[in-house]
Chains A and B, each alone.
Chain A
Amino acid sequence: MTPNLTIMNVSRVLQGVKTAAFTSNARQKLLAFASLLGLLLFFSMASPSFMQTDNMVGILQATAVNGVLAIACTFVIITSGIDLSVGTLMTFCAVMAGVVLTYWGLPFYLGVLAAIFFGALSGFISGVLIAKLKIPPFIATLGMMLMLKGLSLVITHSKPIYFNDTPEFPLIAQDSLIGYFLPELPIPNAVLILFVLAVVSSLILNKTVLGTYTFALGSNEEAVRLSGVNVDRWKIIVYTLSGAICGIAGLLIASRLNSAQPSLGQGYELDAIAAVVIGGTSLSGGAGTILGTIIGAFIMSVLTNGLRIMSVAQEWQTVVTGLIIIAAVYADILRKPK
Chain B
Amino acid sequence: MTSLVAISNLCKSFPGVRALHNARLEIAAGEVHAVMGENGAGKSTLMKILAGVYQKDSGEISIDGQAVDITGPRAAQALGIGIIHQELNLMGHLSVAQNIFIGREPLGRLGMFIDTGKMARDTREIFERLHLNLEPYTLVRDLTVARQQMVEIARALSLDSRVLIMDEPTAALNDAEIDDLFRIIGQLKRQGVGIVYISHKMDELKRISDRVTVMRDGQYIGTVPTATTSMDTIIGMMVGRTLLDDERPPASEQGQEIALEVRGLNRGRTIRNVSFSVRKGEILGFAGLMGAGRTEVARAVFGADKKDSGEIRVHGRRVDVRSPADAVKQGIGYLSEDRKHFGLATGMDVQTNIVLATLRRFLSHGFILKPAAMQVAATKLIAQLGIKTTGTQQKVALLSGGNQQKIVIAKWLVRDCEILFFDEPTRGIDVGAKSEIYKLLNALAAQGRAIVMISSELPEVLRLSHRIVVMCEGRITGELAARDATQEKIMRLATQREAPAVAFNAGAAAAAF
- Which residues of A pack against B, CB within 8 Å? 15-16, 19-20, 23, 203, 207-209, 212, 215-216, 218-220, 222-229, 286-287
Determine whether B102 belongs to the interface, using a CB cutoff of 8 Å to chain A.
yes
Kindly list chain A residues whose C-beta atoms are within 8 Å of the C-beta of B85.
226
Taking A227-B102, A228-B103 as contacts, is the C-beta distance between A286 and B93 under 8 angstroms? yes
Kindly list chain B residues whose C-beta atoms are within 8 Å of the C-beta of A223.
89-91, 102
Kindly list chain B residues whose C-beta atoms are within 8 Å of the C-beta of A209.
105, 107, 114
- Which residues of B pack against A, CB within 8 Å? 51-53, 72-74, 76-77, 83, 85, 89-94, 98, 102-103, 105, 107, 112-114, 116, 135, 137-139
Are A220 and B102 touching (Cβ within 8 A)?
Answer: no
Contact of B92 among A207, A208, A220 (CB under 8 A): A220
Contact of B93 among A19, A218, A228 (CB under 8 A): A218
The answer for the CA separation of A20 and B138 in the assembled complex, in Å, is: 9
Contacts A215-B91, A215-B93, A286-B91 known; list 8 others, CB within 8 Å: A19-B138, A209-B105, A209-B107, A212-B98, A224-B91, A225-B73, A226-B73, A228-B77
Q: What are 28 sample pairs from A and B whose C-beta atoms fall under 8 A apart?
A: A15-B137, A16-B137, A19-B139, A207-B112, A209-B105, A209-B107, A212-B94, A212-B98, A215-B91, A216-B93, A219-B91, A219-B92, A220-B89, A220-B91, A220-B92, A223-B102, A224-B91, A225-B73, A226-B53, A226-B89, A227-B89, A227-B103, A228-B72, A228-B103, A229-B102, A229-B103, A286-B91, A286-B92
Kindly list chain B residues whose C-beta atoms are within 8 Å of the C-beta of A220.
89-92
The answer for the CA separation of A228 and B73 in the assembled complex, in Å, is: 5
Are B102 and A224 touching (Cβ within 8 A)?
Answer: yes
Are A212 and B114 touching (Cβ within 8 A)?
Answer: yes
CB distance from B72 to the nearest CB of A (A): 7
**Top 10 closest pairs, chain A to chain B, by CB:** A228-B74, A286-B93, A223-B89, A219-B91, A228-B73, A219-B93, A207-B113, A229-B103, A227-B103, A227-B102
Kindly list chain A residues whose C-beta atoms are within 8 Å of the C-beta of B138.
19
CB distance from A111 to the nearest CB of B (A): 28
Are A219 and B94 touching (Cβ within 8 A)?
Answer: yes
The answer for the CA separation of A10 and B52 in the assembled complex, in Å, is: 42
Kindly list chain A residues whose C-beta atoms are within 8 Å of the C-beta of B74.
228
The answer for the CA separation of A34 and B102 in the assembled complex, in Å, is: 35
The answer for the CA separation of A228 and B105 in the assembled complex, in Å, is: 13
User: CB-nearest residue of chain A relative to B51?
Assistant: A226
Are A208 and B113 touching (Cβ within 8 A)?
Answer: yes
Central interface residue in B89, B102, B112, B114, by most chain A CB within 10 Å: B102
Contact of A227 among B73, B92, B114, B135 (CB under 8 A): B73
Are B114 and A207 touching (Cβ within 8 A)?
Answer: yes
Kindly list chain B residues whose C-beta atoms are within 8 Å of the C-beta of A286.
91-93
User: CB-nearest residue of chain B relative to A78?
Assistant: B93
Kindly list chain A residues whose C-beta atoms are within 8 Å of the C-beta of B90.
220, 223
Kindly list chain B residues whose C-beta atoms are within 8 Å of the C-beta of A227.
73, 89, 102-103
Central interface residue in B83, B103, B105, by most chain A CB within 10 Å: B103
CB distance from B472 to the nearest CB of A (A): 28
Contact of B94 among A16, A20, A215, A226 (CB under 8 A): A215
CB distance from B96 to the nearest CB of A (A): 11
The answer for the CA separation of A19 and B85 in the assembled complex, in Å, is: 28
CB distance from B164 to the nearest CB of A (A): 15
Kindly list chain B residues whose C-beta atoms are within 8 Å of the C-beta of A20.
137
Contact of A287 among B73, B93, B107 (CB under 8 A): B93
Are B93 and A212 touching (Cβ within 8 A)?
Answer: no
User: CB-nearest residue of chain B relative to A286?
Assistant: B93
Kindly list chain A residues whose C-beta atoms are within 8 Å of the C-beta of B94.
212, 215-216, 219
Contact of B139 among A23, A224, A228 (CB under 8 A): A23
User: CB-nearest residue of chain A relative to B152?
Assistant: A223
Are A222 and B89 touching (Cβ within 8 A)?
Answer: yes
CB distance from A20 to the nearest CB of B (A): 8
Kindly list chain B residues whose C-beta atoms are within 8 Å of the C-beta of A208.
112-114
User: CB-nearest residue of chain B relative to A222?
Assistant: B89
Kindly list chain A residues whose C-beta atoms are within 8 Å of the C-beta of B135.
15, 19
CB distance from B173 to the nearest CB of A (A): 20
User: CB-nearest residue of chain B relative to A288?
Assistant: B93
Kindly list chain B residues whose C-beta atoms are within 8 Å of the C-beta of A287.
93
Kindly list chain A residues whose C-beta atoms are within 8 Å of the C-beta of B76.
228
User: CB-nearest residue of chain A relative to B85?
Assistant: A226
